Amino acid sequence: MTDRLVDKPLLRVLAGGCEAIPPIWLMRQAGRYLPEYRALRAKAAGFLDLCFDTKQAAEITLQPIRRFGFDAAILFSDILVVPHALGQRVTFREGEGPQLDAIVDSSALKRLREEVDHVRLEPVYEAIAAVKRQLPVGVALLGFCGAPWTVATYMIAGAGTMDQLPARLFAYQHCEAFAKLIDILVEASTGYLIRQFAAGVDAVQIFDTWAGVLPGDEFRRWCIEPCSRIVAGVRKAVPGSRIIGFPRGAATELESYLDAVAVDAIGLDWTVELGFARDRVQTRRPVQGNLDPLALLAGGAALDRSIDAILDALSGGPFIFNLGHGVLPETPIAHVERLVARVRGATDG
């Protein structure tokens, strides 16, 4: 661990260190805004075929590192490989997002496997090992999983939704069955992350993209509790493992998340006010974030101003520069170059 800490700025921050130039990576840095990704995607039979092709997944993971020299690579995969490995049918149609066989009632739940089929996920673990062999010195490799609540929203709706209404309703109407699904996902995600560490990731992020739609009690029950069980389970199997939590939209509940979930660092979405981030969050844990992906898409003075405000507020403490959510597919490459240069101090005024 010590060697890794010495040569990887991102790991130094996760250990509580403060870097003069904050390490930077971007959520969804491997993806559709990159022409080299679109070229590989156009040749692939489907999105999941890319995720399960070890060579291609490793190549896509490395594309943004080669182009921008980020401080971390994030494994190219998707949160929905877990439902796939639980036996749910998952497909991705270009431009339409994911489609799953929706879980409409508790009997549909019985068709799921109780445990993930790690054989199906083997290519993912092999991709981690392949990336490791090619990663430049100093660059950390991140694994990830979706948080149980967020993954469940897709499993129940059978697609992405604006308001996660099907899962919210299911959780109220079939509370026991929903709790069972969450338990399955806690086990599955814990095992998945442990295997990612065994394959060679330096740290992992737990994406709870839809945490923000849950009212207080539900937030505790479906976001905080499952995530804290995953963190405890992973730490038990992999002592010292580094874990970033990203409860998007948690707002002031970020504080209760930090009280209960023993993550090493916390990802902030773009709505988190910078004074609150500095005074109430960064005083407790290293923070990561939180540029508005739309500011990156817009570019120009709006982008520069947003970057500077974040650096002013957060770079005095343990801090990883990132977006507040994923890179949008329409984002110009030149804006990402400008962002990296500005964070690293190569652009004035």
- Residues identified as active-site: 28, 32, 41, 78, 154
Q: According to CB under 6 A, which one of 41, 168, 174, 335 is a site residue for ligand 1CP? A: 41
CA neighbor of 80 nearest in space, from 106, 98, 64, 53: 98
Residue range at the interface with ligand 1CP (CB under 6 A); choices 102-110, 143-151, 255-263, 303-311: 143-151
Cβ proximity to ligand 1CP, 145 vs 313, nearer residue: 145
Do residues 21 and 341 touch, judged by C-beta distance below 8 A? no
Q: According to CB under 6 A, which one of 4, 32, 220, 221 is a site residue for ligand 1CP? A: 32
Residues 6+ apart with CB under 8 A from 225: 260
* Cα gap 328→133, rounded to integer Å: 29
With binding defined as CB under 6 A, does residue 28 bind ligand 1CP?
yes
Tokens encoding 50: 């890319």
Phi and psi at residue 16, in whole multiples of 5°? 100, 5
Q: 215 to each of 17, 44, 191, 225, 251, how far by Cα in Å? A: 34, 40, 28, 14, 12
Q: Which of residues 258-297 bind ligand 1CP (CB under 6 A)?
A: none
Q: According to CB under 6 A, which one of 87, 138, 160, 233 is a site residue for ligand 1CP? A: 160
Instruction: Determine the size of the site formed for ligand 1CP (CB under 6 A).
Output: 25
DSSP type of residue 237: H
With binding defined as CB under 6 A, does residue 135 bind ligand 1CP?
no
* Cα gap 29→46, rounded to integer Å: 19
Q: Which of residues 68-97 bind ligand 1CP (CB under 6 A)?
A: 74, 76-80, 92, 94, 97
* Cα gap 149→208, rounded to integer Å: 7
Residues 6+ apart with CB under 8 A from 305: none
With binding defined as CB under 6 A, does residue 168 bind ligand 1CP?
no
**Residue window 207-236: x/- pattern of binding to ligand 1CP, with contact defined by CB under 6 A:** x-x---------------------------
With binding defined as CB under 6 A, does residue 125 bind ligand 1CP?
no
Site residues, ligand 1CP (CB under 6 A): 27-32, 41, 47, 74, 76-80, 92, 94, 97-98, 144, 146, 150, 160, 207, 209, 326
